[in-house]
Amino acid sequence: MSGHDEHRRKHNEEFLRRLIARRPDLAAKYAPLLDAARRVEEAAPGTALESLEFGAPEEPPVSIALETIVNDERPVLFVVNDRLDTKQVTIKGLEAQDLVDRMKEAEAWLAEFMPLIGRVDVSNFPGEYVGTGWFVEETIVVTNRHVASLIARHDGRKFVFKLGVGNRGITASVNTTHELDDNAFDPSRDFKVEEVLYIEPDSGPHDIAFLRVSRRATGVTPKFIPVAGADIGPEQLVCAIGYPARASKKVIPDQQLMQDLYLGRFDIKRAAPGFTMATKEGTSRHDCTTLGGNSGSVVLDLKTKQAVGLHFAGLYQETNFAVRASVLSDYITRKRWTLPLVVTAPKPKPKPEAPGVPQSTPQSTPAKTTTVTTTSGGAGTVNITVPLEISFRLGAPIIGPITATISQGQPGDASQPRTAARAEAVAVDCWKNRPSGVTGVRVGFLEEDDDTIGDVPFIAVSAPASQLAAIEAAGPNQLDGFVVRYEAADALEQLEASPDLEVSTSIMYDDDARTGEEFSFDPVTESMDLLLHVGPEYSWDVLKQFLDEASGHIVSAMYEFHAVSVKDALQSRLDDDRNTSLTLVLDNATLHSGKDPKLEIKPEELFTEWSDRYGDRFQHVIVPEGKSGLISDSYHIKVTVRDDDTFWLSSGNWKMKSSQPLITENDRLNSGEKDLPGNREWHVVVRNKTLADRFRAHILQDLQHSKTLLGQESVGPAATDIMVDVPIEETIMLERKPPSRLVEPMVLTKRRAKVQMLLTPDSEGAMYSDPVLSLIKSAKKSLLFQIPYMKTPSSPKENRGYIDELINALIDKLVALPDARVILSKSGSGLSSPTNVAWHFKSKGVDITERLRSIDKHHTKGMIVDGKRVLIGSHNWSASGVTLNRDASLIIHDADVAGYYAQAFEVDWERANPVTPKKFVKPPKNVEEAVGGEAPQGYVRMSLKEALSDE
- Spatial contact of 790 and 807, defined as CB atoms under 8 Å apart: yes
Residues in the chain: 951
Q: What is the dihedral of CA 30, 33, 37, 39, to 10 degrees?
A: 110
Lowest mean pLDDT among 61-75, 79-93, 103-117, 703-717: 61-75
Looking at residues 431-439, what average pLDDT do you find? 83
Q: How far is CA 829 from CA 120, 145, 382, 494, 879, in A?
A: 38, 33, 38, 13, 17
Q: Say which residue, 894 or 450, is predicted with more confidence.
A: 894
- Spatial contact of 676 and 737, defined as CB atoms under 8 Å apart: no
pLDDT 10s digits, 110-131? 999 999 999 999 988 777 899 9
pLDDT, position 729 = 54
For residue 554, the Cα-to-chain-centroid distance in whole angstroms is: 33
Q: How far is CA 562 from CA 22, 574, 598, 655, 656, in A?
A: 66, 18, 11, 5, 8
Q: Quick check: 227 pLDDT over 80?
A: yes
Looking at residues 50-75, what average pLDDT do you find? 41
Rounded Cα–Cα distance for residues 223 and 236 (Å): 26
Q: Which of 467, 460, 413 is nearest to 436 (CA)?
A: 467
Q: Quick check: 34 pLDDT over 70?
A: no
Q: Which of 726, 679, 707, 703 is nearest to 945 (CA)?
A: 726
pLDDT, position 396 = 33
Residue-wise over 904-941: b if at least 16 C-beta within 10 A, else e? bbebbbeebebbbbbeeeeeebbbbbbeeeebeeebeb
Lowest mean pLDDT among 809-823, 824-838, 905-919: 824-838
pLDDT 10s digits, 595-624? 777 889 999 999 999 999 999 999 999 999
- What does residue 771 show for φ and ψ, rounded to 5 degrees? -65, -35
Q: Quick check: 405 pLDDT over 60?
A: no
Rounded Cα–Cα distance for residues 914 and 903 (Å): 20
Give the start-end residues of each E strand in 424-575.
Answer: 440-447, 453-463, 478-479, 482-488, 524-535, 553-558
Q: Say which residue, 848 or 800, is predicted with more confidence.
A: 848
CA angle 603/609/612 to nearest 5° reads 140
Q: Say which residue, 276 or 48, is predicted with more confidence.
A: 276
Helical segments of 893-933, H only: 895-911
DSSP 3-state assignment of 664?
Answer: coil
Residues in Cβ contact with 514 at an 8 Å cutoff, skipping those fewer than 6 apart: 697, 698, 701, 762
DSSP 3-state assignment of 810?
Answer: helix
Give me the residues paired with residue 240 across strands: 272, 299
Sheet strand arrangement including 928-929: 928-929, 723-727, 939-943
Lowest mean pLDDT among 29-33, 611-615, 652-656: 29-33
pLDDT, position 127 = 74
DSSP 3-state assignment of 547?
Answer: helix
Q: Say which residue, 643 or 203, is predicted with more confidence.
A: 643
455: left (phi over 0), alpha (psi -120 to 50) or beta: alpha
- What does residue 266 show for φ and ψ, rounded to 5 degrees? -130, 170
- Spatial contact of 796 and 428, defined as CB atoms under 8 Å apart: yes
pLDDT, position 71 = 59
Run of H or E residues at 320: strand 319-324
Looking at residues 751-771, what average pLDDT do you find? 96
pLDDT band at 654 (very low <50, low <70, confident <90, very high): very high
DSSP 3-state assignment of 121?
Answer: strand
Q: What is the dihedral of CA 139, 144, 150, 151, to 10 degrees?
A: 10
Amino acid making up residue 713: E
- What does residue 943 show for φ and ψ, rounded to 5 degrees? -75, 160
pLDDT, position 167 = 63
Q: Which of 174, 499, 447, 202 is nearest to 343 (CA)?
A: 202
Run of H or E residues at 241: strand 237-242
pLDDT, position 250 = 64
Q: Which of 396, 394, 392 is nearest to 427 (CA)?
A: 392
Helical segments of 274-366, H only: 325-333
Looking at residues 552-581, what average pLDDT do you find? 95
Q: Quick check: 417 pLDDT over 90?
A: no
Q: Quick check: 535 pLDDT over 60?
A: yes
Widest CA span of the chain, in angstroms? 88
Q: 237-246, 428-437, 734-743: which has the highest mean pLDDT?
A: 237-246
pLDDT, position 371 = 31
Q: Quick check: 56 pLDDT over 60?
A: no
Looking at residues 431-447, what average pLDDT do you find? 88
pLDDT, position 24 = 79
Looking at residues 627-643, what average pLDDT do you find? 93
pLDDT, position 353 = 33
Q: Quick check: 61 pLDDT over 50?
A: no
Run of H or E residues at 175: strand 171-175
DSSP state of 114: G
801: left (phi over 0), alpha (psi -120 to 50) or beta: left
Q: Say which residue, 625 or 951, is predicted with more confidence.
A: 625
Average pLDDT across the chain, whole number:
81
Run of H or E residues at 756: strand 746-760
- HSE-up of 777 (CA within 13 Å, CB side)? 10
pLDDT, position 55 = 27
Amino acid making up residue 570: L
Q: Which of 393, 448, 446 is nearest to 423 (CA)?
A: 446
Residue-wise over 454-483: b if at least 16 C-beta within 10 A, else e? eeebbbbbbbbbbbbebbbbbbbebbbbbb
pLDDT band at 285 (very low <50, low <70, confident <90, very high): very high
Interhelix angle 834-843/802-816, rounded to 10 degrees, is: 60
Q: Say which residue, 38 or 55, is predicted with more confidence.
A: 38
Q: Which of 151, 307, 143, 292 is nearest to 225 (CA)?
A: 307
pLDDT, position 313 = 84
Share of the chain above pLDDT 70, in %: 78
pLDDT 10s digits, 702-758? 999 999 998 754 444 444 456 677 766 544 445 788 999 999 999 999 999 999 999
Looking at residues 3-15, what average pLDDT do you find? 58
Q: Quick check: 35 pLDDT over 80?
A: no
Q: 301-305, 417-421, 592-596, 938-942: which has the highest mean pLDDT?
A: 301-305
- Spatial contact of 644 and 523, defined as CB atoms under 8 Å apart: no
Run of H or E residues at 307: strand 306-315
- Give the CA radius of gyration of the chain: 29
451: left (phi over 0), alpha (psi -120 to 50) or beta: left
- Spatial contact of 505 and 479, defined as CB atoms under 8 Å apart: no
Rounded Cα–Cα distance for residues 718 and 587 (Å): 10
Residue-wise over 812-842: b if at least 16 C-beta within 10 A, else e? bbbeebeebbbbbbbbbbbbbbbbbbbbbbb
Rounded Cα–Cα distance for residues 407 and 426 (Å): 18
Amino acid making up residue 289: T
Helical segments of 56-184, H only: 94-105, 107-113, 145-148
Q: Quick check: 166 pLDDT over 90?
A: no
pLDDT, position 944 = 63
- HSE-up of 899 (CA within 13 Å, CB side)? 6
Q: How far is CA 202 from CA 65, 436, 461, in A?
A: 17, 6, 18
- What does residue 885 show for φ and ψ, rounded to 5 degrees? -95, 160
CA angle 923/928/931 to nearest 5° reads 135
pLDDT band at 801 (very low <50, low <70, confident <90, very high): confident
Q: Quick check: 764 pLDDT over 60?
A: yes
pLDDT 10s digits, 916-949? 888 765 544 556 666 667 777 777 777 666 666 6
Give the pTM: 0.66
